[in-house]
Amino acid sequence: MPKKSWRESRREEGSRQEGSCEKGCCEEVSRQEAPAKNLPPPKAPPEVIPLHRDRVKRVATGVVEQAQTAVSQGVDAAKELGENIVDRVTS
Q: Is the pLDDT of residue 73 over 90?
A: yes
Alpha-helical regions (H) of 1-91? 6-13, 50-90
Question: Residue 67's CB: how many other CB atoms inside 10 A?
Answer: 10
Q: How many CB atoms lie within 10 A of CB 26?
A: 13
The SS3 call for residue 11 is helix
Residue 24: its pLDDT value, please? 58
Per-residue pLDDT reduced to its tens digit, 13-44: 555 555 555 655 555 555 556 666 788 888 87
